[in-house]
Structure 1
Amino acid sequence: MTGSLLSAGQASWILFGVFFVAMFMRVPVAFALALATVPILLIEPRLSSMTLLQETFNAYNSFILLAVPFFLLTANLMNGGGITDRLMRLSRSMVGHFPGGLAQINVVLSFFFAGISGSSTADAASQSKIFIPAQTKEGYDIGFSVAITSVSSVLAVIIPPSILMIVWGGILTTSIGALFLAGIIPGFLIAAAQMGTVHAYAKARGYPTYARATWGELMRWLVISIPALTTPFIIIGGKVFGWFTPTESACIAVLYAGALSIFFYREITPKGFYTALLDTGKFASVALFCVGTASAFGWLLAYYKIPQAILAGVGAWDLSLLEMGLFVAAVFLVVGCFLDAIPAIIIVGTILQPLTISAGMDPVHFAMIGIISLAFGLVTPPYGLCLLIACAIAKVRLIDVIGPVMIMLVPMLAVLFLVIAWPQVTLFLPSLVSPEFLN
């Protein structure tokens, strides 16, 4: 940048060099992003260390980010209020008789929970405590149990209301209502792919099944679970039809979940309510701190016009729409292995967005390719936060579960390719309900 002491190349070497060294030294991602900015802020005479604080707190000046803790609180209230238990009973009555019944229930419950929480880490933490001990007790291999629990938890960032969709929409000014609609069909397809993988595993290894539930049992648990299943419709419908903003929908979801837990199911205790608030604070602080430091990192990238330098080279490739989709997926798949999804959206998403626009890619299609690709990073080392959570709860080494995880990711890759090659997988529902959301 004219008048700057460092060139774009020098600044990028310092930023990414310090960041990856810090990551190699096992510094948490949010702190690594902040530390990477410090040398430049000290070297560059026009900047100061106060810039880090200023840009970090500027990122929090966003009404839409309030939705993050509210969606997490909704999920925690449902866990403490017995709502998750009822959804598990419904899942058992639906798919318990399939091969690998308990693992099938694991996937279906993750699907239901995804429509409520929006957080894969919250899903991985709660589901691991429930399903990993239960599956190993029934004779399931520990590697398979950890793999299916962690992999199914990524549905929470693909199926609305997803925290990643909220962050993406807020940072890259994409319609969050359109993203909510765009995630429904890919979410169904990925859940079906996971259930198909469980079916093949169960047949090959002789995993147990449950007796088929009667229609009466299925209807009974469906009726009991209807109040809980209504939550996603309130959140998504309210946003899509313009009744309220994402933040307002998150607040309404908290009130609704609280009312169900306290007055309808009557299972949450004062201690459970306190635990829900505490867990929400822990998860939200981690996610939002990443947003702040990643924004400061991204601000320095923009200051030195590093994205323009990168795009100048890639733009010369003259990629087709399919090739651009594959390129975007490849970048996010690699970045997701090393970086949390939220800072990846803020840093990488802003770099790639102009390139996708020049290729004629719809912003909603671009967002869904990015979000689904980043979902893989939640279960792929060295980052793989959901996989690390499941391994920690199961007390197994990461190396012991890599094989089953990679096998389960293959059908998900097929769904990702379908999303890239056929944009209508993601754009059909937004174009059907509210065409004005799209280009």
Structure 2
Amino acid sequence: MDVTILFTVFILGLVLGIPVAVTLGLSSLAYIIAAGLPPVVMPQKIYAGMDVFVLLSIPGFILAGNLMNRGGITERIIRFANSLVGWVRGGLGLTNIAASMLFGGITGTAVADAASIGGVMIPGMKKAGYPADFSAAVTAASSTVGPIIPPSVPMIIVGALSGISVGQMFLAGAIPGILMGLAMMVTCYIISRRRNFPRQDWQGFSEVGRSFAGAIWALAMTFLIIYGLLSGLATPTETAVVASVYAFFVGAFIYRELPLRAVPGIVIDSAISASGILALVGFANVFGWILVSERIPQAIAAGVLSLTENKYLVILIINILLLFVGMFMETIAALIILFVPLLSLATAVGIEPLHFATFAVLNLMIGLTTPPVGVCLFVCAGIARLPLAPVVRAILPFLLTNILVLLAVSYIPALATWLPSLLID
């Protein structure tokens, strides 16, 4: 009966459009009251969920991304990407995807990518003759690469939940992220050829060199983060702090586009964004504790294993479940609620935790571009000044492409585990 109250309040909150963090808190509080537990359990579990050292890296990476974005990174990365692929048929679409791959290695969040890249590329593509729905769709689809290519906020969350090394998680996402980007480029090129989208003239290797020189400080930030983690010189949290200092120095003194008077506002905005994520983590920890105490994870595992113990069928079931959940729930909330139960199921049939974590994150990233709660869809449709329906239709080929990459990563573990095994003992 108590569990029924938990899920009833949770589902009702989602239906009414209440923010997920608040919905998690209200449903957990309803359960605690119905079960006759002392109310003090609530703040204790909230604090325990947020009292994880690696989670301190989230504010740092968000601040670093905001500082670099405000300091001129977006335009320089787009210029460099455009110099590489802008001359191909549909070149601005390819530039959009390439810029997201490069930009994602700095922000670690898809929504930041969609807003930053989209704010420049969607109007630019429309002006160049690309349909508005296609411009918005390719931007939304490519933004999901950001949290796969390191650094990645969802992967930090997974590391905190499971104890998997964040450094290994970052490396595990590199190859799937690159595959995702390349597959979307192929899709974009095919659509561009069929619909005769415009192309630009080749600007020469001199432009490639100039644009690379302009973007190198921004691109070096990714290598700084990865080197800090792989060398053992810094923890993820320390790496995030170093990245923030680096971003401030580059934006203020090298690019000279980050005015000092803007820094306090950027810090405040970053703190607000990070606090929202950490509040979600805290409330979701209470919800997750209730699920564990009611043995819901064991019930899920037993239910699936009663149907099949075949590893490949279990992978398919997990992917279908996560794709469905991703259509209705915010990524981090879905990870916190479902990751541990599904990890138990995955390990029970012999799936390596690092492999499972990688395709689980990739799966939920796809959910950012699926209706009705695809956040990146709403962001890009808003920038393009379009209703959601035409953007959803335009993004379908990219969704199919990303699902094919998801299946490849799900059934070929080496795509996720090879690089970490090579570089980390």
Distance 1:177 1:372 in 2: 17
Separation in 2, partners of 1:270, 1:237:
28
Does residue 133 of structure 1 match 2:123?
yes
TM-score normalized by the length of structure 2: 0.96
Q: CA deviation at 1:400?
A: 2.2
Which residue of 84, 102, 106 corresponds with 1:94? 84
- Structure 1 residues 115 and 398: alpha-carbon distance in aligned structure 2, compared to 1, 3 A threshold: same
In the alignment, does 2:89 pair up with 1:119?
no
Please list the CA deviations of residues 296-337 of structure 1 after superposition, one character each: whole Å capped at 9, or x if unmatched: 111111122221222222222343232222222122111111
SS at match of 1:252: helix
Q: Look up the match of 2:175.
A: 185
Task: Tell me which residue corresponds to 1:239.
Answer: 229
| SS of structure 1 residue aligned to 2:419 | helix
Q: Which moved more, 1:86-95 or 1:279-288?
A: 279-288
Match of 2:28 among 31, 37, 58: 37
Residue equivalent to 1:149? 139
2:379 aligns with 389
Q: Does structure 1 retain, via aligned residues, the 8 Å contact 2:9–2:26? A: yes
Cα deviation for residue 176 of structure 1 reads 1.1
* Contact 1:14/1:40, CA 8 A, preserved across alignment: yes
Q: Specify which of 352, 358, 374 is matched with residue 362 of structure 1.
A: 352
Please tell me whether residue 341 in structure 1 is matched to residue 331 in structure 2: yes
**How do residues 261-272 of structure 1 correspond to structure 2 at under 5 angstroms?**
261-272=251-262
Amino acid at match of 1:429: L
SS in 2 for 1:293: helix
Mapped partners of 1:138, 1:224: distance in 2: 24
1:419 CA displacement: 0.7
Aligned-pair CA distance for 1:271: 4.0
- Structure 2 stretches of 5 or more lacking a match? none
Asked if 2 retains the 8 angstrom alpha-carbon contact of 1:227 and 1:260, the reply is yes
User: d(CA) in 2 for partners of 1:346 and 1:271?
Assistant: 37
Indicate yes or no: 2:36 matched with 1:64: no
The answer to which of 54-63 and 251-260 deviates more is 54-63
Match of residue 7, structure 2, among 16, 21, 34: 16
Q: Given the two structures, how large is their TM-score scaled by the length of structure 1? A: 0.93
User: What is the RMSD of the two structures over their aligned residues, measured on CA atoms?
Assistant: 1.4
Deviation at 1:361, TM superposition (A): 0.9
Counterpart among 249, 257, 262 of residue 247 in structure 2: 257
Q: Deviations over 1:200-253 (max 9, x none)?
A: 221122221111121121122212322211111111121122111111111111
Hey, what does 1:371 align to over in structure 2? Answer: 361
Q: Which residue of 1 aligns with 2:159?
A: 169
Q: Distance between the aligned counterparts of 1:271 and 1:210, measured in 2?
A: 38
- Show the counterpart of 2:18: 27
Supply the distance in 2 between the matched residues of 1:131 and 1:23 (Cα, whole angstroms). 33
CA contact (8 A) 2:172 2:417 kept: yes
Residue 316 of structure 1 aligns to a residue in which SS?
Answer: helix
Which of 82, 88, 97 is residue 107 of structure 1 equivalent to? 97
Alpha-carbon spacing, 1:311–1:422, altered in 2? closer, same or farther (3 Å): same
Structure 2 Cα separation of the partners of residues 36 and 114 of structure 1 = 34
Pair 405,282 (structure 1): closer, same or farther in 2 beyond 3 Å:
farther
Query: Is this contact kept in 1: 2:326–2:367, CA < 8 A?
Result: yes
Identity, % of aligned pairs?
37
Write the deviation string for residues 367-420 of structure 1: whole angstroms up to 9, x where unpaired.
Answer: 011001000111112221111122223332112211111221111111111111
Instruction: Give yes or no for contact 1:178–1:430 (8 Å, CA) kept in 2.
Output: yes
Instruction: Give the deviation of 1:344 after TM superposition.
Output: 1.2
Which 10-residue stretch deviates more, 221-230 or 269-278?
269-278
1:82-132 CA-partner distances (Å, limit 9, x unpaired): 122211111111111011121111111111111111111111121221122
Whole-Å separation in 2 of the counterparts to 1:281 and 1:92: 33
Secondary structure, counterpart of 1:371 in structure 2: helix
Instruction: Give the conservation status (yes or no) of the 8 Å contact 2:297–2:344.
Output: no
In structure 1, the partner of 2:73 is 83
Superposed displacement of residue 44, structure 1: 1.2
For residues 129 and 383 of structure 1, the distance between their equivalents in structure 2, rounded to whole angstroms, comes to: 21
Task: Tell me the alpha carbon deviations over residues 146-185 of structure 1, each in whole angstroms, 9 at most, x when there is no partner.
Answer: 1111111111111111001111011111111111111111
Equivalent position of 2:184 in the other structure: 194
Opposite residue 184 of structure 1, the aligned amino acid is A
CA–CA separation in structure 2 for the residues paired with 1:221 and 1:140? 24
Query: Following superposition, which runs of at least 4 residues in structure 1 exceed 4 angstroms of deviation?
Result: none
